[in-house]
Amino acid sequence: MSSDLVLTKHARWSGARGPLVLAILDGVGIGAGDEADAVKLARTPTLDRLWAPGVRTQLRAHGTAVGLPSDDDMGNSEVGHNALGAGVVHVQGAALVGRAIASGALFEGATWRELIERCRRHRSGLHFIGLLSDGNVHSHVDHLEALLAGAVRAGVERVYAHVLLDGRDVPPHSALTYLERLEAFLAGLRSGGVEARIASGGGRMQVTMDRYEADWRIVERGWQAHVLGLGRRFPSARVAVETLRAESPGIIDQDLPPFVIGDPDADAGAGAPVAPIRDGDAVVLFNFRGDRAIELSRAFDDDEFDKFDRVRRPDVIYAGMMEYDGDLHIPRRYLVSPPQIERTMGEMLARTGVPQLAISETQKYGHVTYFWNGNKSGMFDDATETYVEIPSDRVPFEQRPWMKAAEITDRLIAELRGGRHRLARVNYANGDMVGHTGNFDAAVVAVEAVDLQLARLVRVVDELGGVLVVTADHGNADEMYQRKKDGSIERDRHSGVPVAKTSHTLNPVPLTIHDPARGDRYEIDPARADGAGIASVTATCLELLGFQAPAEFAQSLVRFR
């Protein structure tokens, strides 16, 4: 075992008698406190008690603080949990892809050349599947356009886009804006004699982008539309969106059902699908984030596959924008190498022999395991690690905003009372998953549901002589309405009703430490906390456990007296 993976004891602190519990309130940031702030307007007596007065501060969870290109980029669960688990800020997918495109390295890579050669040799289609927006969380439309243009420059004669509509990391009814931009771009390519079209699509929560095997039917719907060309046909993506919106008033982009683009020359676009994926083609999943890309990658790559009936598995070269799982090496081919995240908190604790628990419901289970461990599946040490997944409901989150918070806490309390774990990390998904629906009232209930569970958790941590650290990976429920440039809330011109916001925020997140036995033995260091990001939570937790944090970690926020 490498000695640099084994933690050393802290010189001045031996740790609490009981376990340290790190509770991540996903999507619960510190907002403006006005009518857009569901966190502030929720009844949260436990959070209020933990926050004032106490060992507390605010942390940055967006932009450069979590490895994103600029401070205009909102944080997200991937980079947030990478930072929390690693204790170090790594340059993340969006920036890595942008650099590879700008430098030309992507187009010089072996995988890209293989894709191009396949299409040129067979005069076949190069298909791009991914999220169509500039949210910069899973993908960016700039990247798609660069790939399309690069393929045409290299001599590919047929390029197709299979578009997943966002409405989650961008405004909830913004799909037509991105479709108009893409259609104009494709028209420019067609003017040069290239066949360039949108071939299929659908909302991201209904089509293709499932994660953590929560609902393989989502991937199956995507396979049927993208690969088989099966589904309701329309003459264009615009007509598809307008028709589906008219049939389900109020539906937001992420929930739109799948659609297939038929021959535009046929009556009402009901002719043959313009571009199902066929033998000899090549396929790129242009999302750079891994969690919602793994399952489609498996559907293309796995020889043995039993998640749904693929009907046919075309003979194609398939590549992801990045390698989405560094342990399982999913997919087999990729265009840009992901960040190499080593020496994570979880691995060091495992190599030091410290028993630890990771627990959440399905929707965030991979956040406290896969992302936490540096985009790696599996455990570092079966003997000391316990991973618990509570199955999520398969219903719209606004219908059950309490989600599985109570069931998570039930199991967490049982595990803590078992006396095995020195560290337990838990993610409560409610603030984020319900925040993404744009339903303000449901978001309030979601935050209140988490607060109820924190009250239970506080009592057990106190009973066991432990420490509770509460933070978040990014904001969401703290800003449920869109804002204008001047910061005021945007309202519908006709009704005056605030315009819903479904994306993450740029707001800071809380960090508070509950330790009844603390006395005056340690405190938050104001100088360290000033401008700190969530990566500092890692070293903070290690020190509270009684270990010296590695020198390369973002500095601990506590100062021992």
Report the CATH number at residue 287.
Answer: 3.40.1450.10
Q: Clarify whether residues 292 and 314 are in a common domain.
A: yes
* Model confidence band, residue 325 (pLDDT cutoffs 50, 70, 90): confident
Q: Clarify whether residues 287 and 214 are in a common domain.
A: yes
**Sign of dihedral through CA atoms 216, 220, 221, 225?**
positive
* Model confidence band, residue 267 (pLDDT cutoffs 50, 70, 90): low
Residue 457 lies in domain: 3-91+340-560
Radius of gyration of the chain (CA): 24
Report phi then psi at 255, rounded to 5: -105, 5
* Residue 361 to residue 397: CA distance in whole angstroms: 13
Contact 66, 534 (CB under 8 A): yes
Q: Clarify whether residues 158 and 304 are in a common domain.
A: yes
Q: What is the mean pLDDT of the chain?
A: 95
* Model confidence band, residue 263 (pLDDT cutoffs 50, 70, 90): confident
Q: Clarify whether residues 68 and 15 are in a common domain.
A: yes
CA neighbor of 509 nearest in space, from 469, 549, 548: 469
Task: Write out pLDDT tens, residues 305-316.
Answer: 999 999 999 999
What is the rounded average pLDDT of the residues 424-444?
A: 97
Q: Clarify whether residues 413 and 517 are in a common domain.
A: yes
Note the pTM of the prediction, 2 decimals.
Answer: 0.85
* Residue 71 to residue 506: CA distance in whole angstroms: 8
The pLDDT value recorded for residue 264 is 72
User: Looking at 279, 313, 336, which one is the last position of a domain?
Assistant: 336
What is the rounded average pLDDT of the residues 499-505?
A: 93
Q: Clarify whether residues 105 and 85 are in a common domain.
A: no
Is 200 annotated in the active site? Answer: no
Q: Clarify whether residues 324 and 373 are in a common domain.
A: no
Q: Clarify whether residues 69 and 148 are in a common domain.
A: no
pLDDT over 80 at 3, yes or no:
no
- H/E stretch holding 298 reads helix 294-301
Q: Clarify whether residues 326 and 374 are in a common domain.
A: no
Torsion of Cα atoms, 7 then 9 then 12 then 13, to 10°: 90
Please tell me which residue in 2, 14, 77, 103 is annotated as part of the active site: 77
The pLDDT value recorded for residue 52 is 72
User: Which residue, chain included where needed, has tokens 């066991």?
Assistant: 464
Task: Write out pLDDT tens, residues 350-405.
Answer: 999 999 999 999 999 999 999 999 998 899 999 999 999 999 999 999 999 999 99
**Total domain count, the chain:** 2
User: Looking at 300, 320, 336, which one is the last position of a domain?
Assistant: 336
CA neighbor of 165 nearest in space, from 242, 217, 112: 242
* Model confidence band, residue 1 (pLDDT cutoffs 50, 70, 90): very low
Report the CATH number at residue 77.
Answer: 3.40.720.10
- In percent, the amount of the chain with pLDDT more than 70 equals 98
The pLDDT value recorded for residue 266 is 62
Q: Clarify whether residues 276 and 354 are in a common domain.
A: no
User: Looking at 313, 336, 359, which one is the last position of a domain?
Assistant: 336
The pLDDT value recorded for residue 270 is 63
Q: Clarify whether residues 359 and 315 are in a common domain.
A: no
- In percent, the amount of the chain with pLDDT more than 90 equals 90
pLDDT over 70 at 194, yes or no:
yes
